[in-house]
Amino acid sequence: MDQTYTETRTAEELLAELLTSQKRTERRSLIRMIAGLLLLAAFIAAAFIIVPHVIGLIDNVQTSLSEMNDTVNEAKELIRNANTMITENSETIGEAVKKLNEIDFKKLNDAISALNDVVTPLANLFR
């Protein structure tokens, strides 16, 4: 075994190189662990900030839906009342139109003209 000193490494050199490599690996692992913890802390902080807003938004949506439901029910009632009013008044309007058709407008005009003939001299008397 005729190897020169430069070709072979001593046990001390190998251990020193192994120790250096292990320290680098340990530092990288520590950096990864710290980065992971920072990321976890960021997610937790975001959850504490965002979740209450989401819950408030859901409450607002529920309130709005409840109010919309009440408004729709009021509109339904209003439509029912309008329908009832139209139904009840259509008979009355029909009767009124029938009575208007029964009026003899010629006789009405003659009566108004006769009244005018009587009132005009009285009006002139009080002037």
Residue with tokens 């975001």: 46
- Could you tell me the CA-to-CA distances from 105 to 97, 100, 109 in Å, in that order? 14, 9, 6
In a domain, 103, yes or no: yes
- Containing structural domain, residue 94: 11-125
For Cα atoms 50, 53, 57, give the angle at the middle one, nearest 5 degrees: 135
Which distant-in-sequence residues (6+ apart) come within 8 Å of 17 by Cβ? Answer: 9
pTM, rounded to two decimals: 0.43
Which distant-in-sequence residues (6+ apart) come within 8 Å of 9 by Cβ? Answer: 17
In a domain, 50, yes or no: yes
In a domain, 2, yes or no: no
pLDDT tens track, the chain, 127 positions: 445 554 577 888 999 999 999 999 999 999 999 999 999 999 999 999 998 999 999 999 999 999 999 999 999 999 998 888 888 888 888 888 888 888 888 888 888 898 888 888 887 877 7
In a domain, 16, yes or no: yes
Q: What is the DSSP letter of 8?
A: S
In a domain, 72, yes or no: yes
In a domain, 97, yes or no: yes
In a domain, 5, yes or no: no
In a domain, 6, yes or no: no
C-alpha to C-alpha distance for 51 and 57, rounded to whole angstroms: 10
What total of structural domains would you count in the chain?
1
